[in-house]
Amino acid sequence: MFEQVDKQALAERFGKAASSYDQYALLQKEVGRNLLSLIPDEKYGNGLDLGCGSGFFLSNLQQLCNYLLALDISTGMLKQAGLRGDAQGYVCGDAEALPLRSESQDLVFSSLALQWCHEPVQAFREIKRVLTSQGYALFATLNEGSLFELRDAWTAVDDYEHINQFMGVSELRSVLQEAGIRCKTWQVCRHVMHYADVNTILQSLKRIGASQVNGERHQGLLTRQKLLRLQQAYERYRLPTGLLPVTYNVCYGVLHR
C-alpha cells in the first residue's frame, strides 16, 4: 500500500510553493475547472474546498454556497488563499481527520489533494461523515500511470522512488466501497501537458509543491550528471512537435452518502 507521508514536510513544501503556485499549476487549473462543471446545479448551504491550495476555485464555489470554508493542511497555502478573500472561513486541517462537525457540509469539493493522503479510505470516510444526507462530494485525484514518462526516465538514473505511487481505478473503487460512500458519477480522463525540456518539468513540479515523494525523503542530490542522464532518458518521449509530454490520468467522481 502507500508509504507513510511526512505530513509536516508535505505542508511545508506546499507552503513554500504557495506564491508561485498559480503561475505553474496548469494541470490543476484544467482539472479544477472540469470538476467545477460536474457540480450538480443547485444552491448549497455550507460548502468546503478540501485541500484548497492557493484558493484558485474559491470564487466559483462561493457563488454556489451560502457559507464557504477553505481547508488545507498547509498554513502557507491557506494564507495565500486568504489573500483572495473569497471564502467565509479558513481552517488548517487534515483531510484524514477533518476538524468539522458530522453532517455539516452540503458540498465538498476536493481537486487534486486526496492523492497526498496516507490513508485514502480514512479521507473518504471523513468526507462521508461531514456530508449532509442530501449533500454532494466532488473529487479529482491522480491515477496510476500519471507521470509515467518521468518515472521511466528516472529508472535510467538511479533506483530511488522519485515519483509517487498513484492508485489504479479498481483500487480507488475498493477504497470508496470500504469507506461506505456512494458514487453517483465517475470518469477517468487523460491529460497530457507539454513542456520544452526536463528542467521546466522539474521546475514546474517544484513550484507547485508537488516534488515531494511520499515516504522517501532522501533521493540524493540532483547532480549535473544525474540531470543529464535524466534528460537523455526522457528524449525517447519527445514528440514531433518538439515538446516533451507529461501524462496525468485523473479520476473525477461525484459522491453522496
Interface positions with ligand SAM (CB under 6 A):
10-11, 14, 25, 28, 32, 51-53, 56, 72-74, 77, 94-96, 111-113, 116-117, 208, 210
Give buried/exposed letters for 141-179 (b at 16+ CB in 10 A, else e): bbbbebbbbbeebbeebeeeebbbbbbeeeebeebbeeb
Q: Which is nearer to ligand SAM, 132 or 212 (CB)?
A: 212
Cβ contact 89:62 at 8 Å: no
- Residue 112 or residue 137: which is nearer to ligand SAM going by CB? 112
209 grid coordinates:
509543491
Minimum gap (Å) between residue 216 Cβ and ligand SAM: 17
CB of 126 to ligand SAM, least distance (A): 10
Closer CB to ligand SAM, residue 51 or residue 135? 51
- What is the residue whose three cell numbers read 464555489? 61
Angle between helix axes 224-234 and 198-207 (nearest 10 degrees) is 110
The CA distances from residue 169 to 142, 173, 239, in Å, are 10, 6, 28
Q: Which of 117, 23, 107 is nearest to 69 (CA)?
A: 107
DSSP secondary structure code for residue 237 in this structure: G
Q: Which residue is nearest to ligand SAM (CB)?
A: 53
Please report how close the Cβ of residue 13 comes to ligand SAM at its closest, in angstroms.
8
List the beta bridge partners of residue 185: 254
Shortest Å, Cβ 12 to ligand SAM = 10
CB of 248 to ligand SAM, least distance (A): 11
CA distance 213 to 3: 10
C-alpha Rg value of the chain to the nearest Å: 18
Nearer to ligand SAM, 11 or 201 (CB): 11
- Closest distance of CB 212 from ligand SAM, Å: 10
Query: Of 55 and 135, which has the nearer Cβ to ligand SAM?
Result: 55
Q: Which CB sits closer to ligand SAM, 200 or 231?
A: 200
Q: How far is the CB of 27 from ligand SAM (least distance, A)?
A: 9
Of 36 and 227, CB closest to ligand SAM? 36
The C-alpha cell that represents 197 in the structure block: 525540456
